[in-house]
Structure 1
Amino acid sequence: MAEAEQQSGSTPEDEAAEVTFMEPQKEIRMVPDMGKWKRSQAYADYMGFVLTLNEALKGKKLGCEYKVSETVEKLLDLLETLDRWINETPPVDQPSRFGNKAYRTWYGKLDQEAEALVSAVIPADKCAAAAEIATYLKESVGNPTRIDYGTGHEAAFAAFLCCLCKVGALKGDDRLAIVFKVFNRYLTVMRKLQRTYRMEPAGSQGVWGLDDFQFLPFIWGSSQFVDHPTLEPRHFIDERVVNEHHHDYMFLDCIKFINEMKTGPFAEHSNQLWNISAVPSWSKVNQGLVRMYKAECLEKFPVIQHFKFGSLLSIQPVTP
């Protein structure tokens, strides 16, 4: 894993140089196929990408200074477009409370425009990769049939960002901006989608899951707190602390969203997070969440059966 972490962390620009781009396909069709996924180059690259960002964020506030490249600005423009389309596509009147069908109209716009949106972000000499990378963007916003959203969709957005690193659009010194600017903006757009169209949680474990919709911001957000002089895990269940510090820390921003969306005692509606608040240190929380992410998301067939593999994130086994 250390090798994979190094490999993806270096955001290689030359990896995509001799690649024939392709439309990503599903490859995990049955439970026994999960072994192929865990041995694949895609798994090594994806996990390496997540862990490299996790390392880069340690002890950093959202408001700290970091480079914002032209590609990052273009990605923020892309997400601004998705946000604007929500405003232009209000919910429709319908008998069922959840899963507003206007979401399908919104999704239809993205389906039509995704390739053009990606083309505007990637280098001109990598324009052949636009269709492949656009697949992950389309997968990252929820499912138009079920009108739901979950950690598999979130993983598709991380895969989208990983692919942008592989074609050289994002580079090593973009690491902080990838999470603090781009991923954070993605979160606000997803929350707006979830609220506006009353999207169902995809594959939610209810009270036994970490969160109805997200996982990565808890990993990366806990990394921000490592070695914090005063704030400990026990503090995140204190609403005053959350309201005071959520602008600086992704983890607390997620807790704030949960507090706004759910009623009743925190220990009842978010039991897993309540348990995590008893862990003595943020570094232990961070390590535990990485293990939990692998076990509860990346090693679960209902999540990974939807993941798509192409030339950039390949189902081929890792070369020894």
Structure 2
Amino acid sequence: MNSESVIGDVAGRNVNIPPELPLNHRFLEPEKAVKTLTDMAIWEKSEAYMEYTGFIATLNEAIKAKPLTVDCKISENVKRLLDMLDLIDKLIDEFPPIDQPQRFGNVAFRSWLNKLKLNSTLYLQTALHARVHLAIPEVKVYLEESFGNATRIDYGTGHEMAFVMFLCCLYKIGNLVAEDNVAVVFLVFNKYLTIARRLQKTYRMEPAGSHGVWSLDDYQFIPFIWGSSQLIDQPRIYPPAKFLEDDIIDKYHNEYMFISCIKHIKEVKRGPFAEHSNQLWSISAVGSWTKINQGLIKMYKKEVLAKFPVVQHVLFGSLLPIRRFPISH
């Protein structure tokens, strides 16, 4: 990181910094660091990689065997995040798609994203506890990257990853804590997913990459990981092949993220499921949700986190650094 990118130093200021951050912690504006294929090896041994994959695994465990409708603690910090996402959602109403000759990639998306970026600092000042406001210039970049690319008007697993990194950073600065884990997936991430789908539909966004080659439904991957964890030990949707049945989808899409994803796919795609969603069709033959969940985590690491076209866009700062993960002796 160059010295110009330092955007906040907590030393000597009268702020209450979370115990996991040292008093002299300096927040940094996140930058791209994986610029060549050889940099991929640095990424896979980095603190950011370990933090990110560990975060997904921690939340995966927290929601295991739980429906979306489970009673969970909703802290003030979670409520404020949800209020912010509501504002972002309502912002779409201000920028209806415009009439244009090309079918995909409605240019009104650029106006929407520009407005989001203009307001992101203000949104986060309201959403985050005052004691962590010094972190806003670092964490806001992840939020801004979470909804798609303005130039290409596309969306993919890299944008989804940016949002999960945003959430991970909120834990690192102490704005979210372990008691929030279930609410973060079931309320915050689920609300984000609703917004992402609305953007994809409203602005006819292209899947990032070659027809969403690194995702399971052209756009997303993580809701299938966390969604399959929810279905572990769920006798009503067993064997897993039942997730393809229309009556199961109708009955359980509001309770299980994985089923909600399948419902969404069936609404937006035509033709035999085995043809338009071959990977998911193959998954339906696996004998247990535990195996599906473990397999999806492995697949995510191999098909998303190990792909240069995705990782070249990942941003690294002080909270998710590119430096090597310390190996304990």
Regarding TM over 0.5, the answer is: yes
Deviates more, 1:119-128 or 1:161-170: 119-128
In 2: Cα distance, 1:189 partner to 1:38 partner = 30
Tell me the secondary structure at the aligned position of residue 114 of structure 1: helix
Match for residue 140 of structure 1 among 142, 146, 149 = 146
- Residue 207 of structure 1 contacts residue 268 of structure 1 at CA under 8 Å; is this kept in 2? no
- Residue 78 of structure 2 contacts residue 183 of structure 2 at CA under 8 Å; is this kept in 1? yes
Q: Which runs of 5+ in 1 are unaligned?
A: 1-11
1:159 equivalent in alignment to 2:153: no
CA-CA distance at 1:208 after TM superposition: 8.4
CA-CA distance at 1:184 after TM superposition: 0.2
The residue that corresponds to 1:260 in the other structure is: 267
In 1: Cα distance, 2:79 partner to 2:213 partner = 37
The residue that corresponds to 1:81 in the other structure is: 87
- Residue 204 of structure 1 contacts residue 212 of structure 1 at CA under 8 Å; is this kept in 2? no
In 2: Cα distance, 1:318 partner to 1:155 partner = 19
- Residue 64 of structure 2 contacts residue 229 of structure 2 at CA under 8 Å; is this kept in 1? yes
Match for residue 14 of structure 1 among 3, 15, 19 = 19
- Residue 47 of structure 2 contacts residue 325 of structure 2 at CA under 8 Å; is this kept in 1? yes
The residue that corresponds to 2:67 in the other structure is: 61
In 2: Cα distance, 1:120 partner to 1:314 partner = 26
Deviates more, 1:191-200 or 1:14-23: 14-23
Tell me the secondary structure at the aligned position of residue 236 of structure 2: coil
Match for residue 94 of structure 1 among 79, 92, 100 = 100
Aligned alpha-carbon RMSD (Å): 1.3
- Residue 156 of structure 2 contacts residue 215 of structure 2 at CA under 8 Å; is this kept in 1? no
Match for residue 225 of structure 1 among 225, 231, 240 = 231
- Residue 207 of structure 1 contacts residue 269 of structure 1 at CA under 8 Å; is this kept in 2? no
Q: Which runs of 5+ in 2 are unaligned?
A: 1-16
In 1: Cα distance, 2:212 partner to 2:306 partner = 18
1:295 equivalent in alignment to 2:302: yes
The residue that corresponds to 2:52 in the other structure is: 46
CA-CA distance at 1:220 after TM superposition: 0.2
- Residue 114 of structure 1 contacts residue 138 of structure 1 at CA under 8 Å; is this kept in 2? yes
The residue that corresponds to 1:106 in the other structure is: 112
Per-residue CA distance 1:255-277 (angstroms, 9 max, x = gap) = 00000000001001000000000
CA-CA distance at 1:168 after TM superposition: 0.7
CA-CA distance at 1:204 after TM superposition: 4.0
The residue that corresponds to 1:7 in the other structure is: none
In 1: Cα distance, 2:106 partner to 2:132 partner = 37
- Residue 25 of structure 1 contacts residue 309 of structure 1 at CA under 8 Å; is this kept in 2? yes
Runs of 4+ in 1 over 6 A off after TM superposition: none
Map 1:107-122; keep pairs closer than 5 Å.
107-122=113-128
Per-residue CA distance 1:165-224 (angstroms, 9 max, x = gap) = 011110100000000000000000111100000000001455885220100000000000
Kindly name which structure, 1 or 2, has the bigger radius of gyration based on alpha carbons: 2
The residue that corresponds to 2:132 in the other structure is: 126
Higher normalized helix content (fraction of residues): 1
Letter of the structure 1 residue corresponding to residue 304 of structure 2: C
Tell me the secondary structure at the aligned position of residue 318 of structure 1: coil
The residue that corresponds to 2:287 in the other structure is: 280
Q: TM-score, normalised by structure 1?
A: 0.94
In 2: Cα distance, 1:244 partner to 1:187 partner = 20
Letter of the structure 2 residue corresponding to residue 134 of structure 1: K
The residue that corresponds to 1:5 in the other structure is: none
Q: 1:270 to 1:304 in 2, by over 3 A?
A: same
CA-CA distance at 1:122 after TM superposition: 2.2
- Residue 208 of structure 1 contacts residue 272 of structure 1 at CA under 8 Å; is this kept in 2? no
